[in-house]
Amino acid sequence: MLTHYRFDTLGGADHGWLKAKHHFSFASYHDPQKMSFGELLVINDDIIAPHTGFDTHPHRDMEIITYVRRGAISHTDNKGNEGRTTAGNVQVMSAGTGIFHSEFNHEDEDTNIYQIWIMPRSKGIVPRWDTAEFPATPAHDALALLVSGDDNAPLSINQDARIYAGRMQAGTALTHHMSGQAYLLVSDGSLLVDGNLATKGDGIAISDQPSVGLSAEEACEVLVIEVPGLVSAR
């Protein structure tokens, strides 16, 4: 079953320096029908103005994944981690027992990110942060596994979850096989998802099926977030 959430129907907020669209209830945006999707709690589509960002603030017992769509984001935290993650690449943070961090756009252009929060498998772990670069080679037969809860991906998190991503050229078609349920994001371009047209910024909740067919209408970029225990969008 597919449930399609078009970009122009998403909740959001404009803080001047930050323009955000929320796939689920977050901060001042509240929709009782969209509180979460199982262990997947937050997907924010954020545009951060140049030389601004999120000042130092705390998190605890949360898996936070940032996928950079455009520009770059610079991270610092009280555990001594720091790094700059550029477009097409990913950073992960396991907040565990507690971590203070900041995320800034030090660039001269807007930075566009997906900020994804996933409930952890277990609480009270040692906090950690990591980032990785991924090849820009277009996907032909399968999306690349970027993040997982085991050692099968470049980045790991404290949950039995997976994040796949890929750029697809116009006319490319592939079948993505899923374990559990999934939430698909169209980062750029447009594609058919089991024959349903989805465009830039859209989200699609996928449940009760083992695979989904993807066919690029034009050059596009897509993410698939798989989380155990998902049943349907609430």
Asked whether the predicted pLDDT for residue 187 surpasses 90, the reply is: yes
Clarify whether residues 30 and 100 are in a common domain.
yes
Rg of the chain in Å (alpha carbons): 17
Tell me the pLDDT tens digit for each residue of 57-94. 999 999 999 999 999 999 999 999 999 999 999 999 99
Clarify whether residues 150 and 126 are in a common domain.
no
Asked whether the predicted pLDDT for residue 33 surpasses 90, the reply is: no
C-alpha–C-alpha distance, residues 2 and 193, integer Å: 9
Clarify whether residues 158 and 52 are in a common domain.
no
Of 125, 67, 121, 68, residue with least CA distance to 98: 125
C-alpha–C-alpha distance, residues 168 and 216, integer Å: 6
> Of 102, 132, 162, at which residue does a domain stop?
132
CATH of the domain at 82: 2.60.120.10
* % of the chain with per-residue pLDDT over 70: 97
Clarify whether residues 128 and 148 are in a common domain.
no
With respect to residue 57, please indicate whether it lies within any of the assigned structural domains: yes
Of 180, 234, 207, residue with least CA distance to 36: 234
Clarify whether residues 109 and 72 are in a common domain.
yes
Q: How far is CA 233 from CA 20, 33, 153, in A?
A: 20, 8, 27
Clarify whether residues 152 and 205 are in a common domain.
yes
The whole model's pTM is what?
0.94
Structural domains in the chain (count): 2
C-alpha–C-alpha distance, residues 6 and 9, integer Å: 5
With respect to residue 2, please indicate whether it lies within any of the assigned structural domains: no
Q: What was the pLDDT predicted at 230?
A: 46
Average pLDDT of the residues of the chain: 94
Tell me 128's DSSP state.
Answer: E
Contact indicator for 49, 112 with CB cutoff of 8 Å:
no
Structural domain boundaries, residue 154: 144-227
* % of the chain with per-residue pLDDT over 90: 88
Clarify whether residues 65 and 85 are in a common domain.
yes
